[in-house]
Amino acid sequence: MILYVDEASNLDPWWQTTALAIVVLGIAYAFTRRRSFQRKDGKQYPPYAPIGLLRTILSMSGPRAPSFMLEMSRLLKCSVFRVRLPIPGTPMVVAVGEPILTKLILTESRMKPASVYKPFESVTKGPSIFTETDETTWKHARKGVAPAFSSQHIRRMNTICAAHTERWIQERLVPSIANNAVLDIATEMVDLTVTVICESAFEYNPSKEEMTMFLSELDLALREFSFKQSANPLRKFFNGVLPSARRAKVASDRLQRFVFKVMDHYRSLKHHETEDTVIGRIMNNDKYKNDEARAADLLTFLVAGHDTTGYSLAWILLHLAQHPHEQKILREKLQATPREEWAQSAGLRSVVQEGMRLSPVAAMGSVRQLAEDIVSPTDPTIVLPKGAIVFLPQILACRNPDVFDSPDEFQPSRWDEPSELQRAAIIPFSLGPRNCVGQRLAVAELHSVIASVCAKYTFTVEDEGTSDYFLTYKPVGALLKATHVPNQ
């Protein structure tokens, strides 16, 4: 159980005091019960993060979660450690940033802890391919949609991405240059990726008003149900009292109505270029019980498809703007390469890989609950017990000083000749049977947008902004200014 402290909450003080007392008593009870949990086979558990319970709870449930993980790892000088988050029903909570152990856990463990993932179902109004715990159900959904991400359809969707990118350049980037204006790069990239996925995956072109509504309502719903109530399960008992919870319910209703509108539009089309779009594969899959179940998966794909890609693009462009020399190297390589070969550019791949390493959007990674004991392959004296909830923060692996020299520096050249361990450390789309089914589309979008923009334009930083973590790790308030650069 994790306590979420909301400074902007409209709860009266006595509600806050009562809720806090209940949570703290529950935490203390669960924590003291666990203190006696010791092994008798001589193996050791990972060390505890050297921080008290309250600070751990506050840090893990707030925007500092990724930096907190890095801080603990560096204090301990190790990348596998326990954190004091006494969640009922589990012997311990562990953070793992060691690449080989991470790979083992993701490939061997399919159990997603309900306490972490189930609150998302209040956003989608039911189980989805992301949260479903029944293996037969999620396998049917995954198998059904997989053909939408074949090589043929990735090319089709990437063509749509290229067209939208060119439109963004002409309608947003070029006018900003003419007016000597700045661009909030995170907002711009998220807007771009929403329009791309709506057309390429859902055969729908949202209006500007619909796009604004979708993004704002999604933020409200996710913050309450997938963050606050996931962090503090007690909040769900106050849904009728908390203004933010009532508003989030309205937001999720509006999101579902939007998805049903997209479904109705699909059914109204007399001709489909292909039935193998994401929406086509879902709408024509008779394994779904009803349209509500279809809507849950469609909303999940829409959320996952725009958020991570959009913020990854923003981080990469920000890092390039912060490093003019690297930006110049990339531009020269692209200008010396025929456009049809940009996707195969080693320089482009290195920049994208390094951007995702330094600022992984899924900074806190996946979470798994172990079905059996797992012994660390890199240190056989360390064991993670059955039932343990394991956080797999990508930011720990991506900035692991035992894997990368100067881990906090943006150095695309490190990918010229990477080691196998370095390759294993970068898993932006997770691993195993529950990895990201749409990862090939995301990679194609990243390469397409970065190449199209950086081949002709250079960016400078007007305001670096800050970083924020709320389900995804994102730049906030980063303002860039662009300049056109003719071919050399």
pLDDT, tens only, 184-201: 999 999 999 999 999 999
CA distance 100 to 121: 31
CATH-assigned architecture of domain 13-484: Orthogonal Bundle (1.10)
CA distance 424 to 307: 24
User: Model-level pTM?
Assistant: 0.89
Query: Residue 227's CB: how many other CB atoms inside 10 A?
Result: 18
CA distance 396 to 46: 15
CA dihedral sign, ordered 119, 217, 395, 70: negative
Structure tokens at 282: 């879902």
CA distance 357 to 398: 5
Q: DSSP secondary-structure letter at 409?
A: S
Domain ranges of the chain: 13-484
Beta bridge partners of 68: none
Q: In sequence order, which residues have a C-beta less than 8 Å from that of residue 304 and are 6 or more positions away?
A: 130, 436, 438
* Backbone torsions φ then ψ of 438, nearest 5 degrees: -100, 20
Q: In sequence order, which residues have a C-beta less than 8 Å from that of residue 208 and are 6 or more positions away?
A: none
The one-digit pLDDT tens for each residue of the chain (488 residues) are 333 333 333 333 434 434 444 454 454 444 444 444 456 667 899 999 998 888 888 888 778 889 999 999 999 999 999 998 767 777 899 999 999 999 999 988 778 887 778 888 999 999 998 888 777 888 888 899 999 999 888 999 999 999 999 999 999 999 999 999 999 999 999 999 999 999 999 999 999 999 999 999 999 998 888 777 766 666 777 888 888 889 999 999 999 999 999 999 999 998 777 788 999 999 999 989 999 999 999 999 998 888 899 999 999 999 999 999 999 999 999 999 998 898 889 999 999 999 999 999 999 999 999 999 999 999 999 999 999 999 999 999 999 999 999 999 999 999 999 999 999 999 988 877 778 888 888 999 999 999 999 999 999 999 999 999 988 999 999 999 999 998 76
CA distance 67 to 54: 17
| Secondary structure element (H or E) that encloses residue 330, with its range | helix 324-335
Q: How would you classify residue 86: left for phi > 0, otherwise alpha for psi between -120 and 50, otherwise beta?
A: beta
10 Å CB burial of residue 480 (0-12, 13-18, 19+) is: buried
CA distance 8 to 350: 42
- Please, are residues 395 and 66 in contact by the beta-carbon 8 Å criterion? yes
The model's pLDDT over 203-253, given as tens digits with 9 standing for 90+, comes to: 999 999 999 999 999 999 988 887 777 666 667 778 888 888 899 999 999
Q: Is 398 annotated as a binding residue?
A: no
